[in-house]
């Protein structure tokens, strides 16, 4: 494969990754890492390095649109970033201690669990939840646009959500995926935030988390400019398109896309990890 063909192939794949990442709140890394490893035969550590750069691009491309439309909750996002950033530094440190095959299998298991937790039951009604006292003291509440006006919400079970965010940050640093899947589940099912608020706030957060661990990968030589540049540009284009579609998308359809994408990628990564192809 020539350099031009390789670059164009990576760029085109990255557009799709950014689109799915922005639409589901996963971040483009969940698509980019397995594609670079399986299709383009790139070592998983370098794939993760490029993915982290793409995650920052995804967050930058989508977050501005979501904040402008009134979906992202900046206060909740910055509060939870304390946990995810600490976790990201730990995960980035651990990546040099764990083999590529193990990283691939952990990657796949995380995605399969995320899909199961997201699709195991229909969305619950969250309007009648009692206000959480800690969330009220920290003012972890807000509103988001719905047809005919705005809907109010208050975060629930803040300590549990904060703890899960530390795990999400660790996975982000270890796997280079932005850990949007875990963040969305933590906000949607643990903290009981509306699904669109969860996905958009996740997109806002993943860039900060990825930046914390990208510095560690850069110092170890795992970020290659020739690979990271087409990945970053492609993901940015896809993220901008995905962010525009999300505003009018159906929540049930988003959950279905969320589940299908990460199940397929999870199975693929586990298989390749078990067979030593990473």
Count CB neighbours of 106 within 10 A: 17
- pLDDT for the residue 269: 77
Written as one string, the DSSP assignment of the chain is --HHHHHHHHHHHHHHHHHHHHHHSS-THHHHHHHHHHTS---HHHHHHHHHHHHHHHHHHHHHHHHHHT---HHHHHHHHHHHHHHHHHHHHHGGGS-HHHHHHHHHHHHHHHHHHHHSSPPPP-TTPPPPHHHHHHT-EEEEEETTEEEEEE---HHHHHHHHHHHHHHHHHH-STTHHHHHHIIIIIS---HHHHHHHHHHHHHHHHHHHHHHHHHTT---HHHHHHHHHHHHHHHHHHHHHHTT--HHHHHHHHHHHHHHHHHHHHHHHHTT--
Is pTM, for the whole model, over 0.85? Answer: no
Instruction: Report whether 243 contacts 21 (CB < 8 A).
Output: no
pLDDT tens readout for residues 39-61: 888 988 898 889 888 877 767 66
- pLDDT for the residue 184: 79
- pLDDT for the residue 122: 46
- pLDDT tens across the length of the chain (278 residues): 788 999 999 999 989 887 877 676 666 677 788 788 878 889 888 988 898 888 777 676 667 777 777 888 989 999 999 999 899 888 888 877 878 788 878 878 877 876 776 666 544 545 556 667 888 888 898 888 887 788 889 999 999 999 999 988 888 778 766 666 678 778 888 898 888 888 788 878 877 777 877 888 888 888 999 999 999 999 888 877 877 777 677 767 776 776 787 788 788 778 878 887 66
Domain ranges, ordered by start, for the chain: 3-274
């Amino acid at each position: 494969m020539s350099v031009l063909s390789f670059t164009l192939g990576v760029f085109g794949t990255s557009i799709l990754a950014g689109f799915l990442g922005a639409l589901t709140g996963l971040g483009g890394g969940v698509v980019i890492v397995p594609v670079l490893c399986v299709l383009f035969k790139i070592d998983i550590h370098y794939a993760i390095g490029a993915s982290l750069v793409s995650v920052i691009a995804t967050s930058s491309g989508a977050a501005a649109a979501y904040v402008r439309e009134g979906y992202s909750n900046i206060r909740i996002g910055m509060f939870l970033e304390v946990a995810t950033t600490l976790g990201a530094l730990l995960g980035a440190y651990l990546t040099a201690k764990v083999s590529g095959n193990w990283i691939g299998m952990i990657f796949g298991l995380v995605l399969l669990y995320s899909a199961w937790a997201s699709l195991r039951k229909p969305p619950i009604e969250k309007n009648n939840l009692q206000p959480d006292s800690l969330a009220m003291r920290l003012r972890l509440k807000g509103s988001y646009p719905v047809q005919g006006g705005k809907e109010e919400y208050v975060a629930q079970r803040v300590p549990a959500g904060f703890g899960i965010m530390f795990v999400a940050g660790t996975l982000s640093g270890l796997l280079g995926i932005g850990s949007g899947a875990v963040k969305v589940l933590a906000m949607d099912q643990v903290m009981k935030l509306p699904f669109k608020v969860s996905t958009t706030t996740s997109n806002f957060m993943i860039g900060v988390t990825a930046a914390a661990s990208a510095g560690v990968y850069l110092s170890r030589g795992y970020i290659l400019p020739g690979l990271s540049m087409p990945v970053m540009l492609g993901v940015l284009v896809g993220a901008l398109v995905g962010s525009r579609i999300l505003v009018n998308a159906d929540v049930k359809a988003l959950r279905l896309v969320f589940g299908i994408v990460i199940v397929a990628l999870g199975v693929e990564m586990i298989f390749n990890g078990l067979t030593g192809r990473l």
